[in-house]
Amino acid sequence: MDVIHQCCAGLDVHKETVTACVRRLEPGGRVAKQVKTFGTTTGELLRLLDWLSAEGVAAVAMESTGVFWKPVWNVLEGSLKLLLANARHIKNVPGRKTDVKDCEWIAQLLQHGLLRASFVPERPQRELRELTRHRTQLVGEQTRVANRIHKTLEDANIKLGSVAADVLGASGKEMIRALIDGQTDPDELAELARGRLRSKLPALREALRGHLTAHHRFMLRQLVDHIEYLQRQVEQFDQRIEELMAPFAPRVAQIMTIPGMGLRTAHNVLAEIGTDMSRFPSDGDLCSWAAVCPGNRLSAGKRQSGRTTMGNRWLRAALTQAAWAASHTKKTYLSAQYRRLAGRRGKKRAIVALAHTLLVIVYHVLRDHVDYYELGHDYFDKLQPRRLTNYLVKRLESLGHKVILVPDEQAA
């Protein structure tokens, strides 16, 4: 095999130790190896850096093992050429599993150019990722706490969720606070309703008649305090994310021209893929990395599976959410594509396909620095008009009609 790096190193990273192997191809063709073990504290990692630099190492490869690779990456970044590889792609030969053998195997694969690097963005983008991902988890926790509030109300025979569309809206919160403070009269509780909810006062009075105990009040008080705390946390994260996103405001505005893409979704997408599309050779590479395209598993001329692979789950979740929103837009290309696919492939597959389309659009918007151009809801009809005409004629004939087609110019 061809040698790509004359001198390189492989690291087997663990929580408390790093085993490093320096592999060097000497002029006579002989391969020399040196193996040392270091700790993972900052001082030990600096010793590792000094040793690798003294040995003249040109490139270093390591596995992406949980979060343990991050301290090593932070110390070596900027001084050496680093490569982070998927652990599934560099499994060692069965039966020879030791730290020394692992780092030697990684170094050997790196020397011959057999490792594929994972996408590791620059530090500012990594920090932005942590903010957007943590905000997503906070929003998910809000949903879980809201479900617990629903559960507690149901346990107290309070059927507020059956009448009010949003139990934690302005009216719902006032009613829950009144219940916590000891108010039990359903008439007085119903009078707290606002807006359109007041048109449902009779049903609301019946729904608020229950059996609230001291235990229910305690649970509701803790849950309401928890969800208000989470809301304050989300607001603080939103403020911090917007500060860091300020230099990329034009890119955010361009992404928001795409149907289904809101401000938070645009932030999440940019935090995951960045603004520089040159790191992805094509839109297909980006979609493959995000795992929003069909899998490719072919053997003996038979396609065995088309399941999507494992990719960036945070980006995929953001795109899926945007796809659901885009599918409900009116008179757009994306909603037409969803309806076209959902009828014959199912709603879930159609959503994944729409997420793929959204990511392709994002790629070209960021690469070409342009706004989204709407193709129109009738794009597919104009794409193959004769095929659509034949299909509609056959449908009408199957219903017992005789169809005669007259061109517009003759009909006029």
pLDDT tens digits for 255-270? Answer: 999 999 999 999 999 9
Tell me the pairing of strands 7-13 and 59-63.
parallel
**Which residues, in sequence order, are bridge partners of residue 215?**
none
Task: For residue 27, name the pLDDT band (cuts at 50, 70, 90).
Answer: confident
How far is the C-alpha of 226 from the C-alpha of 244, rounded, in Å?
A: 27
Span 196-210, mean pLDDT? 89
Q: How far apart are CA 172 and CA 338, in angstroms?
A: 35
- The 10s digit of each residue's pLDDT in 28-69 is 788 899 999 999 999 999 999 999 999 999 899 998 778 899
Lowest mean pLDDT among 78-87, 94-103, 144-153: 94-103
Which regions of the chain carry the CATH code 3.30.420.10? 7-111
> What pLDDT shows up at residue 118?
85
pLDDT tier for residue 237 given thresholds of 50, 70 and 90: very high
pLDDT at 196: 87
Written as six digits, the tokens of 187 are 């008439």
Radius of gyration of the chain from its Cα atoms, rounded to whole angstroms? 29
Segment 291-339, tens digit of pLDDT: 888 766 666 777 766 677 778 889 999 999 999 999 999 999 999 999 9
Q: Among 195, 194, 175, which residue's Cα sits nearest to residue 186?
A: 175
Q: Tell which wins on pLDDT, 237 or 100.
A: 237
pLDDT at 306 (0 to 100): 66
Say what the pLDDT of residue 388 is. Answer: 86
Q: pTM for the whole thing?
A: 0.83
Whose tokens are 């504290």? That residue is 41
> Measured between alpha carbons, how far is 112 from 173 in angstroms, rounded to an integer?
63
Q: Which residues contact 329 (CB under 8 A, 6 or more apart)?
A: 259, 260, 335
- In CATH, which of 3.40.50, 3.30.310, 3.30.1490, 1.10.287 is domain 124-246? 1.10.287
DSSP 8-state assignment for residue 35: E
Distance from C-alpha of 104 to C-alpha of 241, rounded to nearest angstrom: 42
Mean pLDDT computed over every residue of the chain: 89
CA distance 39 to 59: 20
- Which residues, in sequence order, are CB contacts of 318 under 8 Å at separation 6+? 265, 268, 269, 272
For position 381, what pLDDT does the model report?
81
Take residue 297 and report the two structure tokens written for it: 């598993």
Could you tell me the pLDDT band of residue 412, with boundaries at 50, 70 and 90? very low
Cα–Cα nearest to 31, from 58, 60, 5, 53: 5
Tokens of 409: 């110019």
Per residue in 346-382, pLDDT tens? Answer: 999 999 999 999 999 999 999 999 999 999 888 888 8
Q: Compare 79 and 302 and report the one with higher pLDDT.
A: 79
Quote the pLDDT of residue 411: 46
Q: Of 133-147, 196-210, 383-397, which one has max mean pLDDT? A: 133-147
Phi, psi of 152 (to 5 degrees): -65, -40
Query: How many whole angstroms separate alpha carbon 242 and alpha carbon 167?
Result: 29
Assess whether pLDDT exceeds 70 at residue 242.
yes
* Element counts in the chain: helices (H) and strands (E): 17, 7
User: Cα(13)–Cα(99) distance, rounded to whole angstroms?
Assistant: 9
Q: Residue type for 175, please?
A: M
CATH topology for 7-111?
Nucleotidyltransferase; domain 5 (3.30.420)
Q: How far apart, in Å, do the first and last CA atoms of the chain sit?
A: 73
> Quick one: pLDDT at residue 40?
92
What is the amino acid identity at position 75? V
Band the pLDDT of 228: cuts 50, 70, 90. very high
- Residue intervals in the chain for CATH 1.10.287: 124-246
For the segment 380-404, what is each residue's pLDDT rounded down to a tens digit? 888 888 888 888 899 998 998 888 8
Q: Which residues contact 61 (CB under 8 A, 6 or more apart)?
A: 8, 9, 10, 11, 82, 83, 84, 85, 106, 107, 109, 110, 115
- In the structure, what pLDDT confidence band is assigned to residue 88 with cuts at 50, 70 and 90? confident
Read off the pLDDT of each residue in 219-247 and give the average, rounded to a whole number.
95
Round to whole Å and give the CA distance between 358 and 259.
Answer: 9
For the cut 90, the answer to whether the pLDDT of residue 225 exceeds it is yes
